Each structure stands twice: as C-alpha cells, then as structure tokens.
Structure 1
Amino acid sequence: MTEVLGPFAAILTAIMIVVAVTLSLRRRVIVYAWETALLYRGGVFERTLDPGTHHYADLRQRVRIVRLPAHAQRSNFGPLDVLSADRFAFRLHLSVTWTIVDPRTAWEAQEVPESTSYTVAPLQERVAAAALAATGALQLDDLLGAPVALGDAVRAILATGATSFAFEAVAVTRMELPPETRRMLTEVERARRSGLAALERARSEQAALRSLANAARLVRDNPELAQLRLLQTIEDAKGPTTIVVGDPRAVPPS
C-alpha cells in the first residue's frame, strides 16, 4: 500500500508546490477611479485596466503597470521668453488645464510621465512654442490689455494637432516686463494723461467762454433780462446788501 501511495504522494506534493509558486507569483493591483492603468507584458501593450481590483500572473516578472491621471490636471509653465509683434521681449507665466484623452499614445510617445504630478516637463516645449506664436501675432498694448484673449489664443494653438491631450483652459498668471520697457510705458502713460488733463482744461475754459458770450448776446438783444437778473440777485441776497442801480455809462465824469 505504501508503495502504491508513494507515486501519488509525490505527484500531489509537486502539484502543491506548483500551486504555491503560482500563487506567490500572482499579483494584485487596485486601479482607482481617478487614474488610468496600462498593462504591459514583456514591453508590449496588453490591455487597459478599468477601475477596480485586478489579478494577473507574472511568472517571469515581465509585467509593468503604468498609471496615468484620468482627471483634469493643472500645470504651471514659466517663465517663458516671448516676443510681441512690435518686437518687445518679455516673460510669460501660464496655467494650463489639460486632460489625457489617449493614455496609451501619451505614454508611448513619452509626452507625460508616469505620475500624477502637476509639473509635466514633456509639455514644456509645446506650451513654450504656442506662447511664442500667440504673442508674436499681437502688439504689446493688446497683450497687456487683453490677457484673457492671449490665453485663449495659446489654447487654440495647443489644441491644433493635439491627439492625446485635451487642453481645456489656459490662463495668463503673470507677465514680466524688462525694467526699461516698464519705464517707457510709465512715461507714455504719464504723457497721455497729462495731455488728457490739458485737453479737459481747454474744453472747460472754452465752454465757460461760450456760456459768457451767449449770456452777453442775450442781454444785448433783450435788455429786460438784465433787470430780471438784478431782481433775482436781490431776492437771493442774504443779509444787508448794497446794490447800485443804473447805467454806469450815464454817470457824468467827476
């Protein structure tokens, strides 16, 4: 009986060893709702793992799980050296909101690192080129006066030809002008405001003179208006008031 059970015991032991080794090499991975997991076996893409718990065998330890963010990311880029259409150089800081729409393409093209970091170095070159193209089409005054439009222009350029990313928003967070450019703009603004003030003073003086001329014309054409104005002045006077009535031209010289 012992001789009969010997081979079966050996086979059973071998099976148990194989099962134990297989279970020890079996891996478990949890994929969360805010990420996308790509399974590569031997360097070849096999499938995308949905959110949840997954088990897979890795007998030769050739499986790699790549995790990429599935929700919108916001990354800051800058300072970016740019040039306006009128050849003014300055630095630009941008905040870009983006989403990975094709995880496999983004990963295999090394456009995004395997992390949920908000700093995406591979996108730096693309964002810098888009910012340079957008600022190069606008004058400096337009760039300073409409930062929202500049952000929209950068986003439109980024969206052109983008297959693995969706750029949802681009905001200009800061514009750094060189000291000499800031001084020049300050002088221009000071001169503009001084000119506006002088123009406003001239307009006020012209309006006052026009009003006096109209009043003189009315009194000349309607002498009774002077008497009515005199009565109004007497009525509005407060306290003791001395008013000389008469035509100064009729007073004989002394």
Structure 2
Amino acid sequence: MIVIAVIAGAWAWISTLFRKGMTALLGFERVGVQSFETVLLYRNGWFEKALPPGRHWIGAGSRQVARIDKRPEVFRFAQGAVSADRMAVHLVYVARTQIVDARASFESTQNYRDEISIRVQSVVKAVCSRKPRLEIQMDHQSFSNNAQKAANQALRAIGCECLTFELLQVDSAGPIAEFDTRRMGFAAE
C-alpha cells in the first residue's frame, strides 16, 4: 500500500514538472497577459501590482487575478432630451470609449459599461440643455466636440476616456408643454 502511494505521489510530481515546469513545483504560477489587456494582482483583497503584456511568474498563494480588456468599445444610443429653447429632441449618437487606467476602472464601479452608459447619457442631456434645437440639428460637429470633451471629464473618474463622439441623427419632437401653475391650483398667494 505504501509503495503504491509513493509511486502515485512521484507520478503526480513528475507530471506537474513536465506540464507546468520547475517553478510550479516551487509554488509559482504562470500568467500570460495579452497585448490588449492588463492583469491586476490582489493579495488578500489589497492591490499588489498591475502586470503589463507578456509572461509572468507569480506566487500561487492567496492572490486574486483580474483581467482588464483595454480595447476600445463602441456604444450606440438613442436618447430624448430637451434643448435650451425648451424643444424636445430625439438624438441618435455613437461614443467610442477605452479604459486608460485599469485599476481605477476595476475598483471604481461594479460594471464599468453601465457606468459609461449612464455618464455619457447625462453628458448629452447637459450639452443639449445649453444649445437651441436648431443649432443641435444644424451643427453636428460642434455638438459632438462639446459632448466628447464633457464625456472625457465625466469618464476620467472611472479610468476611461471618450475617444470619439459622433452625433448621427437629430429629430425634433416639438415644444415641451409648459405647465401653468395657476391652472393646476398652485397659485401663489
């Protein structure tokens, strides 16, 4: 029985040696990082370091690994907003974003894609509120430039940037109804 256990243990040791190499037997693990990603290492929940592209040997202990894909992403939106002259507009636009700080992106939000969506839509709503409807409809480039600058400021806090912003289409939905407070029974006394 003891002989069988020794043979099985030796076999496991030799197979590990051939599959993973000598460093695996010493308690290390090989991590391959692609050219488009960053790998974040955490030890016991605390950030340790970011691994750049290439092959790395890390201690196998109590480490957690987070892979962050840094390739650009494209978001397409259809959104309603109100212009500075109180006209309802329907916008179709595209924002191309990218993670520039992997750690900030990973630690600042649970789902950075949802956070990007919310922040970009808020920026567009704010830019619309400062421009009249006709200017939004006629000068897409100016609107896109302003929205991109504002989106960069909003996304910086979560480790992202807006690479491009393009307003594709603007439709006017008409004036926003102004409520007369006297007719609603809220007349000031």
TM-score, structure 1 as length reference? 0.54
Secondary structure (helix, strand or coil) at the match of 2:109 reads coil
Bigger strand share = 2
1:173-210 Cα offsets, whole Å, 9 max, x none, are 233443xx4xxxxxxxxxxxxxxxxxxxxxxxxxxxxx
The one-letter amino acid of 1:75's match is V
1:156 and 2:149 correspond: yes
1:131 equivalent in structure 2: 124
C-alpha contact 1:30 1:53 (8 A) present in aligned 2:
yes
Write the distance in 1 (CA, Å) between the matches of 2:110 and 2:150.
17
**For 1:207-253, what per-residue CA distance to the aligned partner results, in whole angstroms no more than 9, with x for missing partners?**
xxxxxxxxxxxxxxxxxxxxxxxxxxxxxxxxxxxxxxxxxxxxxxx
| Paired position in structure 1 for 2:187 | none
Greater Rg over alpha carbons, structure: 1
The match for 1:46 is: 48
| Secondary structure, counterpart of 1:160 in structure 2 | helix
Aligned to 2:177: none
Return the alpha-carbon distance in structure 2 between the equivalents of residues 66 and 94 of structure 1: 31
Q: Report the AA paired with residue 95 of structure 2.
A: V
TM-fit CA distance, 1:80: 2.1
Could you say which structure has the higher helix fraction? Answer: 1
TM-score, L = length of structure 2: 0.70
State, as a whole percentage, how many aligned pairs show the same letter: 21
- Structure with the larger RCO, 1 or 2 (CA within 8 Å, 6+ apart): 2
What amino acid sits opposite 1:110 in the alignment? T
Q: Which residue of 1 aligns with 2:161?
A: 166
The residue aligned with 1:89 is 88
Give, in whole Å, the separation in 2 of the partners of 1:40 and 1:64: 5
Corresponding residue for 1:214?
none
1:111 shift after superposition: 6.6
AA partner of residue 67 (structure 2): R
List gaps (5 residues or longer) in structure 2: 1-5, 18-23, 175-189
Structure 2 CA distance for partners of 1:45 and 1:87, relative to 1, 3 Å? same
Tell me how far 1:42 sits from its aligned partner.
1.7
Structure 1 portions without partners, runs of 5+: 1-9, 114-119, 182-254
Cα shift at 1:92: 1.9
User: RMSD across aligned C-alpha pairs, in angstroms?
Assistant: 2.9
Letter in 1 for 2:106: W
